[in-house]
A and B are shown apart, each in its own frame.
Chain A
Amino acid sequence: MNVETRHYAFLGLFVCVGLVMVIGLRPGVPVTADTQRMFAYIDSLPGGSTLMVSFDHEASSLPEIQPLALALLRHAFSKGHKLVGVAFLAEGTVIGYRLMQKAAAEYGRKYGQDYVYLGFRPQHVAAILTMAESVREAFPQDYLGHDYNEIECLRTVDSLGDVAAVISIADGSTTTYWMEYGQSPERLLVLAVVTAAMVTTYDPYLASGQMHAMVGGLRGAAEYERLINRSGGGERGMLAQSAAHFYVIAMIVVGNVVYFKARRKRAAS
């Protein structure tokens, strides 16, 4: 067996995170202004408002984004909002349907009446441009094959201007297209639920007001779960995430100490 230095580093991470997860403590996290803003907006909407939820992510980011997506869906359903689901990435199609169904069942929400899942369209720019004028034209049928006109919760939705906001659940740049192409002819309010890796990418849009609110990552999920008083994957992962972060910091420090020692030695010799 050929064990290299990196294998010890891998094993260290595995053991560190695994041990902490077995301990199972759940440290509370303070809620940041960004998460509070998202929560406040959804909470402030009149009951029965229609929100579009766009599942623009892949299965690869599911462990990170699912807790946050679920927390948001739960909040929206608990407030009696109507949700219209769409997907612009193929994998998001099945994931989105499953998540909406799961959250809806917890609050006794009925398909067709309280929520609907329209399905997938491959070209997001064309789909958003079409929906800006007519959602019916972009999705003549829903994911289950029902005609658009037969679906109760879509009766008040002709175009994107008829939804209170769109929640883009993304692990890539699809949220950008909602902000850029969804602004004509109606100004569209965009809320972003993203992986942590995309947070710094979208910061300028948040600062300029093109995006109304943004929550990111597992930490965002833990904060949101605290706000809705409902435990979930975010809260469960916080201690493990702390352990992982400290492990990475330790590796960086060790690497730099070794580097500077070697540099000093070379300079001395």
Chain B
Amino acid sequence: MIGPGTLIAGLLTIAILTFLYRDNPVYKFAESLLIGVSIGYTLVVVWSGTLVDSLFMPLFSDGRYGLLVPLLLGLMMFARLIPRASVLSRLPIAVLIGSGAGVAIPTMLEERTLKQMSATVAPLVGASGWPDFSAIVIVVGVLTTLSYFYFSRAHAGLLGVSARMGTYFLMIFFGATFGYTVMSRMSTLIGRMEFLLTDFLGLTG
């Protein structure tokens, strides 16, 4: 005998799967319920997990009155919902955007650009004295792909050849990504089918 939770989960799973035939009232009901429950869940987690723990408790229990500043800024965000007062929300947004941009500059430069560049500049000759084919392919791949994204000049002549080669490297990447993405989606499907066949219908052990 399956429990009520498994029964509900199974029925809702089938309701979502009906979309494969076409959009229908059963699917729409499930979708609406999902949207409502997801948002309600987020509300609970954000309120109790962040605002209570990081704002209200330290502010009112521990007397950290400096937190009145982010509280005020946070409340000003709600001005976005009132068209006439929406300009007030510019201040907290400016704080968020400015802070984010400020920490992003050194991080993007070091972690995303310089470290990747230095990893590309690897010895092109192996310990045996023979050229390291993989290292050469990596250098060629990075340079030609970067040349593809250089749009300030027409892709003609040497740049054109390089950009074309870059396209081929990009296609290899997109193909590999597609393969892994298919794998990922199939895994999710297998997980749901295992639930339906094992827990819900009891057809497999």
Contact = CB atoms under 8 A, between A and B. Distances in A.
Nearest to B119: A208
B197 interface: yes
Interface string A173-214: 000000111010000000000011101110010011110000
B24 interface: no
Contact of A241 (B107, B177, B190): B190
A91 B41 contact: yes
A240 B186 CA distance: 9
B191 A233 contact: yes
A60 to B, nearest CB: 7
Interface in B136-188: 173, 176-177, 180-188
A181 B107 contact: yes
Interface stretch (A48-56, A114-122, A149-157, A258-266): A114-122
A21 B201 CA distance: 13
Nearest to B174: A200
A97 B112 CA distance: 32
Q: Could you say which of B116, B189, B190 has the most chain A C-beta atoms within 10 Å of its C-beta?
A: B190
A248 interface: yes
B92 to A, nearest CB: 13
Nearest to B177: A200
Contact of A208 (B57, B115, B190, B205): B115
Contacts of A216: 180
Interface stretch (A39-47, A104-112, A135-143): A135-143
B190 A139 contact: no
A63 interface: yes
Nearest to A244: B186
A139 B49 CA distance: 9
B90 interface: no
A84 to B, nearest CB: 16
B120 to A, nearest CB: 8
Contacts of B107: 180-181
Contact of B116 (A93, A200, A208): A208
B91 interface: no
B63 to A, nearest CB: 13
B20 interface: yes
A64 to B, nearest CB: 4
A230 interface: no
A10 B20 contact: yes
B131 to A, nearest CB: 19
A209 to B, nearest CB: 7
A60 B41 CA distance: 15
16 contacts: A21-B190, A61-B184, A63-B187, A63-B192, A63-B194, A119-B53, A122-B46, A180-B111, A197-B181, A197-B183, A200-B180, A233-B191, A240-B190, A241-B187, A244-B186, A245-B182
Interface of A: 2, 7, 10, 13-14, 17-18, 21-22, 24, 60-64, 66, 90-91, 93-94, 119-122, 125-126, 129, 139-141, 143, 179-181, 183, 195-197, 199-201, 204, 207-210, 216-219, 233, 236-237, 240-241, 244-245, 248
Shortest Cβ-Cβ A-B pairs, 6 listed: A63-B191, A208-B119, A197-B184, A218-B187, A64-B187, A196-B184
Given A195-B187, A218-B190, A248-B182, 6 more contacts: A197-B177, A208-B115, A216-B180, A237-B190, A241-B187, A244-B189
